[in-house]
């Protein structure tokens, strides 16, 4: 009985030693790699720095022979160059519209469709909404005005989309 307990204790001790050795080897490899990377980085970085300093010295030597540029940019900006152009403001602001093309329970399905519509050049967004306790992901296409919304609706219906809703505002 004592022999069994002694051998079990010895096995556990050997197992602990192996684990400790494995941890030490891992940490040694990790820190050795970091140290090597830092040494190489300093050597490479030092060379780059020397090259940059040398280029700067050469560049400054060339610049001293060139005349100084005229730096009156801000002064010229403040001077009026003539009458300001008149801006026309439209009397009726255009209402943007959203077309609800589809609604999915699974977000990835909505994202897949939105990417397909974006590839056709449409402005698309996916909005998460909750209706009667159920989460939906709506695929919406943006139109700049109601006329464009009607045109896009017709185009999408020709491609096989059904039940498209036009929503005012965006």
Domain limits for position 163: 97-168
Average pLDDT over all residues of the chain: 77
Please state, in angstroms and rounded to a whole number, the distance separating the CA atoms of residues 20 and 118.
Answer: 55
Query: How many angstroms separate the Cα of 135 from the Cα of each of 31, 102, 107, 127?
Result: 49, 14, 10, 10
3-state secondary structure of 139: strand
Residue 128 lies in a domain: yes
Residue 139 lies in a domain: yes
Q: Are residues 17 and 60 in the same domain?
A: yes
Q: Is the pLDDT of residue 1 over 70?
A: no
Residues, the chain: 170
Residue 86 lies in a domain: no
Q: Is the pLDDT of residue 48 over 50?
A: no
Residue 42 lies in a domain: yes
Are the C-beta atoms of residues 135 and 62 closer than 8 Å to each other?
Answer: no
Residue 13 lies in a domain: yes
pTM score, whole prediction: 0.45
Domain count for the chain: 2
Query: How many angstroms separate the Cα of 120 from the Cα of each of 14, 117, 141, 152?
Result: 66, 5, 11, 12
Q: Are residues 110 and 151 in the same domain?
A: yes
The domain that contains 116 carries what CATH number?
Answer: 3.30.70.1070
pLDDT reported for residue 81: 58
């Amino acid at each position: 009985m004592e022999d069994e307990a002694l051998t079990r204790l010895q096995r556990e001790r050997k197992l602990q030693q192996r684990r400790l050795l494995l941890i030490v080897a891992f940490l040694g490899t990790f820190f050795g790699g970091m140290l090597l990377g830092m040494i190489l980085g300093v050597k490479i970085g030092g060379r780059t720095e020397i090259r940059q300093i040398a280029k700067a010295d050469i560049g400054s030597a060339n610049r001293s022979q060139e005349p100084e540029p005229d730096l009156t940019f801000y002064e010229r900006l403040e001077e009026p160059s003539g009458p300001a152009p008149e801006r026309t403001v439209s009397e009726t602001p255009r209402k943007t519209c959203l077309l609800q093309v589809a609604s999915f329970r699974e977000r990835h399905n909505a994202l897949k469709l939105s990417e397909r519509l974006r590839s056709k050049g449409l402005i698309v967004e996916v909005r998460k909404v909750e209706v009667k306790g159920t989460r939906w992901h709506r695929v919406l296409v943006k139109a700049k005005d109601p006329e464009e919304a009607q045109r896009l609706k017709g185009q999408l219906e020709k491609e096989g989309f059904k039940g498209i809703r036009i929503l005012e505002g965006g």
